[in-house]
Every structure is written in C-alpha cells, then in structure tokens.
C-alpha cells in the first residue's frame, strides 16, 4: 500500500478515536454533574455515640 494511504488511514482513525473519546467524556461529565453536590453544600456526617464519654463522634 502506498505510504500516503497508510498515513491518511492512521489520521482518519485518530480523528474518529478522538471524537469518540470527546463524546464519552462529555457523557460521563454530564452524568457526574447530576450527582455532584452544589458548591458550598455541606457534606452530612454520621455521628455515633461513644459509650465511654457519652459524646457523639463522627462515624468511621
């Protein structure tokens, strides 16, 4: 095969791969943005009673 044809095929395959990756990254980003908390939203902490002190402490 002519070297120019091989370069053209490799370039086309690279472009198609880059477009597919860009679409996949956009899909994942959109999915993550739905579950990502809004900035400034406090993260809830589960507390557990420490029987020795009688105080509530964050649960591990």
Find where tokens 């994942």 sit. 28
Query: Three-state DSSP class for 21?
Result: helix
CB 50 within 8 A of CB 56: yes
According to the model, what pLDDT value does residue 55 have?
94
pLDDT over threshold 80, residue 60:
no
Q: What is the pLDDT of residues 4-19, one digit of tens each?
A: 999 999 999 999 999 9
Q: What is the pLDDT of residues 21-49, one digit of tens each?
A: 999 999 999 999 888 877 888 888 899 99
- Residue of higher predicted confidence among 1 and 29: 29
pLDDT over threshold 90, residue 20:
yes
In angstroms, rounded to a whole number, what is the distance separating the alpha carbons of residues 9 and 51? 70
According to the model, what pLDDT value does residue 34 have?
87
Where are the chain's structural domains? 3-58
């Amino acid at each position: 095969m002519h070297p120019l044809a091989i370069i053209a095929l490799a370039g086309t395959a690279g472009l198609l791969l880059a477009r597919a990756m860009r679409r996949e990254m956009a899909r994942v980003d959109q999915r993550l943005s739905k579950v990502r908390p809004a900035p400034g939203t406090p993260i809830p902490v589960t507390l557990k009673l420490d029987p020795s002190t009688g105080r509530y402490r964050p649960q591990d």
